[in-house]
Structure 1
Amino acid sequence: MFGPSKILATVRASGCDIKTPGHVPLDVENYPVAPEDLTLEQVHVYVRHGERTPVKARMTEYIPPQWQICHVARQFKAAVAGPGAKETLEVKRVVERKDGTFDYGECTNAELTDFGRKSTFNFGNALRKLYVDRLHFLPDTMESNEEVYLRSSNRTRTIESLQQVIHGLFPLDKQGQFFVPHICVRNKRDENLYPNTSACPRLNTLMEEFARAAAVSMNPTLEPLDQKISKYTGGKPIRIDGSPKASGILETIRAATANGVKVPKEFLDPAVMDPIEKAVIVEWFGGYAVSPELRTLGVGRVMDDVSQKMQRKALKKSEDPLKILVNCTHDTTIAGVLQTFGVYDQKWPAFTSQMTFELFKDKSDPSPPQSDSYLSKFTSSFMRPKIPKTYYVRMRYQNDTMILPACTPPGNHLEGRPEFCTLKAFAETIKEFTPADWEAECAK
């Protein structure tokens, strides 16, 4: 068993430079600048939360159940009610074990770790270096929430990750006198930053059906691993529908290695982890490649948000001041979107994975902005204003530019540059998997 000294010894105390499997920092220097006749108009960023602990302790005889890498969040100031207009209470939070003992800096399940805070801060800082320092797309000092939209799923690890991103993108000395960042969250019923199975019974049913199908097709591929790793799981084989589940083992190992926690050497062997990863990806995301209904209920609403905001920007032009939208989300969203667009690399999204959609305008566009009354008139009817032909969308993931299959036909992209999809083709693609009535379709 692991005592406190053994637990601490498993964590690298040399800093926050752990290399997460698949982790790719935003590469500012090699960012591909758009052609000179295009100007950047709006950026939608989706970033997975930073490194965290596992959602539950597994294989505790071989992987420590307590991790002492959550020091940053343990001391803070809380807003409290009192006689003064504004009062704060300085507190120090500790994680108490069932025997009543505690250690400062110990993490709870699924908590953002110190490494996760560092990686998300670094991502925000890289966004600043790219969109402020290099491209001069954003102002050096942010003065208004009209130019920036910040949103997180209503989970502590994503909210705290987004706070770190904000701190890197807009440090305190780069926030105007009246700028207070607004972090938007939604109630569970309205949440669309992840496939919302709890609010959508039909989506939950579909996910369960694909999980059962994956167990039939992928469990045989896991059988050769039994001799290598069942000794770590109490002699039980790892299966899609087993106990432990393959997804649980993958989640535990990825969280441990991302935070520098030792794992048995077998779990560092690609011959072991690759089959597990492949099987779990088929279970969780295989359905997006074959089921229009799953795409619609799983990621249709969040992608429709992107489409609608880009169309508004194209129609209102400079009268719409919104420039950057940063959304802190989850691996299930990123992989689901990638699979839906047909550009998924079949790798589990690492912590702090980033996916962006950039909107560009042709400088020669002569059309004037449309007024709000014009937009309201048409968007409230079956007719919609025509999307300008002079706008293009580029999707990027982990520093790679994605060429969307739907954008490759002639006329659907900037001539000679298939990575620049016309906004019209991009919006029409998203419309194919946008629910007409999400709640009604969920109730089927």
Structure 2
Amino acid sequence: MTPGSDRDSNNRPGHTPLDVENYPVAPATLQLEQVHVFVRHGERTPVSIRMSEAPANIPPTWLLCKEGRKFGAAVSSHTGSNILGVERVVENEDGSLEPGECLLGELTDLGRKSTYNLGAALRGVYIDKLKLLPDVAHNDSEVYFRSTNLPRTIESLQQIIHGLYPPLKQAEGFVSKIRTRNPKDENLYGNSAVCERLKTLMLKFAQAAAVAWNPTLEPLDEKISKYIGGNPVRLDGKPRASGILDTVRAARAHGIRIPEELRDNTVMDVLEKAVIEEWFSAYRTEEVRKLAMGRLLAEMSGKMNQTATGTGPTAPKILIHSTHDTAIAGLLGTLEVFDNRWPEFTAVVTFELFREAPDSRPAGSFLTRLLSSFTTSGVREKHYIRARYQNTTLFLPLCQNVGDHLDGHPELCTLEAFNRRVKELTPKWEVECALHQR
């Protein structure tokens, strides 16, 4: 089904574009050195067919994947490498083909567009405005691209790269490397598949959320149950409340017509709050923060310190990671700045590393200069980190004490304060992931 007309005045958009024009420039005493970008994939279809029967009639198949179907594939031959024209299609059980049909959970043409636009916006900020990166890409030493090993995140990253460095801004021979990791090494989300303790904890919190929130969801039965086969609306129901939310958000992002009750924000807000509690309440605990996001934060911190100290291989200036809503919420929850709203499609978190030379500090900043003289990293210049979510600058609790941020700028954490908190969050992975009773 192609998009219908579901553009009511209260409809929330599928994603919020990155605002290049109003990007807040850092104080003039600071020089941007490196930026880490974590982005949720673009708009996609639901991961399961739900509410396709009357009276909901949300389509089971979505014809929103036409642009991504044709591509050239490199094919080896005895005479070298040739390009073979290929078109991907979805085959239904009866063997029928429908042009542009999406797989379940697949990035749609809208998702491709929004992630391309994000790449273009990143270009507007970090190339055109701040000159962090060169105008034309010549090699991959200054850029780092990594994705989880799922088609929707890989394709999202491809679009981001094309927006950041479109073909005319790529030198001849330039090839972007998209990195993926084996499942055992994946840390771009809370990897409970390889951490038994994390799996147990997440299940425990999900079950507790069901007990606490199912009574709150019960009044929604009158409005929603008729659309889910007469079943009650519950976190552990059939379909699960998270599944209802997934289908509704995907449909609304694409303008697909859905029943009025599922467009009522007073109804959907209650559903969202319950699902947020099910999926992310565990991030209020230090143990889940460590096991879910500690390895990722430690890796990022290490690359920032590599840039700050100038030791080891030259670190990239921009590192873009294509991941999932659970990773975005997990990072925000771990750093205690989660807004308790489900991350939008193409939602983005950035961590910017700035350098301040000693002679650029105001003469009156005695405490800052005194503290900087005792850094453990041995770096002469002072370094600061600024975190942003979408178009909002974050004030991280980890650096709100005096001396842990740039004077007058509590949003700019010292690298030392950030490192100190990350060290607390870094798990002894094999030991702490082992299943044990608490």
Give the TM-score taking structure 2 as reference length. Answer: 0.91
How many percent identity over aligned positions?
Answer: 55
1:69 — aligned with what?
Answer: 64
Q: Is the 8 A contact 1:47 1:353 kept in 2?
A: yes
The correspondence for 1:114, drawn from 106, 109, 112, is 109
Query: Do the aligned partners of 2:292 and 2:330 also contact (CA within 8 Å) in 1?
Result: yes
Q: Contact 2:148–2:154 (CA<8 Å) still a contact in 1?
A: yes
- Given candidates 423, 435, 443, the residue that maps to 2:415 is 423
Per the alignment, residue 410 of structure 1 pairs with 402
Structure-2 residue corresponding to 1:325: 319
Contact 1:387 1:423 in 2 (8 A): no
Q: Which amino acid aligns with 2:34?
A: Q
Return the alpha-carbon distance in structure 2 between the equivalents of residues 319 and 197 of structure 1: 32
Q: Structure 2 vs 1, CA of residues 9 and 277 (structure 1 numbering), >3 Å: closer, same or farther?
A: closer
* 2:21 counterpart of 1:29: yes
| Partner of residue 245, structure 1 | 240
Counterpart of 1:411 in structure 2: which amino acid? G
| 1:111-161: CA deviation from partner (whole Å, max 9, x where unpaired) | 000000000000000011111111111110011211011100011000000
Task: For residue 103 of structure 1, give the secondary structure of its aligned residue in structure 2.
Answer: coil
User: What are the superposed Cα offsets for residues 39-83 of structure 1, whole Å, 9 maximum, x if unpaired?
Assistant: 000000001000000111000122000100000121111222321
- Tell me how far 1:11 sits from its aligned partner: 7.3
Superimposed CA distance per residue, residues 290-347 of structure 1 (whole angstroms, 9 cap, x where no aligned partner):
x211111111111111111001110008973521001001000010110111111110
Q: Indicate the residue corresponding to 2:199 in structure 1.
A: 204
- Cα distance in 1, alignment partners of residues 398 and 138 from structure 2: 38
**How big is the alpha-carbon RMSD for the aligned residues of Structure 1 and Structure 2?**
1.9
| CA distance, structure 2, for counterparts of residue 87 and residue 201 of structure 1 | 46
Distance (whole Å) between structure 2 residues aligned to residue 298 and residue 231 of structure 1: 37
What per-residue deviation string (whole Å, max 9, x for no partner) do you get for residues 360-401 of structure 1? 0003379xxxxxxxxxxxxxxxxx744666000000001100
Matched, 1:335 2:326: no
Q: Which residue in 1 is equivalent to 2:190? A: 195
Query: Which whole-Å CA distance do the structure 2 matches of 1:122 and 1:317 have between them?
Result: 35
Amino acid at match of 2:337: V
Quick check: 1:21–1:254 contact (8 Å CA) kept in 2? Answer: no
Looking at structure 2, the residues matched to 216 and 203 of structure 1 have their Cα atoms a distance apart, in angstroms, of 20
- Provide the rounded CA distance (Å) in 1 between the counterparts of 2:313 and 2:426: 27
Deviations 1:213-253 (Å, cap 9, x if unpaired)? 00011111101101011000111011111111111111111
- Aligned pairs (5 A) from 1:51-70: 51-61=43-53, 62-70=57-65
Task: Tell me the SS of whatever aligns to 1:80.
Answer: strand
For 1:27, the aligned partner's letter is D
Specify the alignment match of 2:349 in structure 1: 355
Question: Does residue 433 of structure 2 align to residue 439 of structure 1?
Answer: no
* Aligned counterparts of 1:67 and 1:288: Cα–Cα separation in 2: 34
After TM superposition, the structure 1 = structure 2 runs for residues 148-187 of structure 1, keeping only pairs within 5 Å, are: 148-187=143-182
- What is the match of residue 267 of structure 1? 262
The residue aligned with 1:217 is 212
Q: Do the aligned residues in 2 keep the contact of 1:20 with 1:259 (CA within 8 Å)?
A: no
1:165, CA displacement in angstroms? 0.2
**Uncovered stretches (5+) of structure 2, i.e. residues with no partner:** 361-375
Which of 23, 31, 45 is equivalent to 1:39? 31
Q: Which residue of 2 aligns with 1:371?
A: none
Of 79, 90, 97, the residue aligned with 2:92 is 97
Query: How far off its partner does 1:182 sit?
Result: 0.6
**Letter matched to residue 308 of structure 2:** A
Structure 2 counterpart of 1:10, from 4, 11, 25: 4
Partner of 1:305: 299
Give ranges in structure 1 of 5+ residues lacking alignment: 1-6, 367-383
1:146 paired with 2:138, answer no
Question: 91-100 or 234-243: which moved more?
Answer: 91-100
Aligned-partner Cα distance in 2 for 1:59–1:321: 48
Q: Specify whether residues 69 and 413 from structure 1 end up closer, same or farther in structure 2 by C-alpha distance, changes over 3 A only.
A: same
Say whether residues 1:401 and 2:393 are aligned partners. Answer: yes
Query: Partner residue of 1:369?
Result: none
Residue type of the partner of 1:323?
Answer: K
Distance 1:28 1:8, change over 3 A: closer
Tell me, yes or no, if the aligned pair for 1:354 and 1:397 is still in contact at 8 Å.
yes
- Between 1:160-169 and 1:94-103, the stretch displaced more is 94-103
User: Equivalents in 1 of 2:60, 2:151: separation in Å?
Assistant: 20
Return the alpha-carbon distance in structure 2 between the equivalents of residues 118 and 102 of structure 1: 24
- Find 1:235's aligned residue among 227, 230, 235: 230
CA distance in 2, matches of 1:85, 1:57: 44
Aligned to 2:364: none
Name which of structure 1's ranges 87-96 and 36-45 shifts more when overlaid on structure 2: 87-96
2:173 & 2:71 partners in 1: Cα distance?
Answer: 23
Contact 2:14 2:43 in 1 (8 A): no
Contact preservation (8 Å) 2:42, 2:156: yes
Give the structure-1-normalised TM-score.
Answer: 0.90
SS in 1 for 2:86: strand
CA distance in 2, matches of 1:390, 1:131: 21
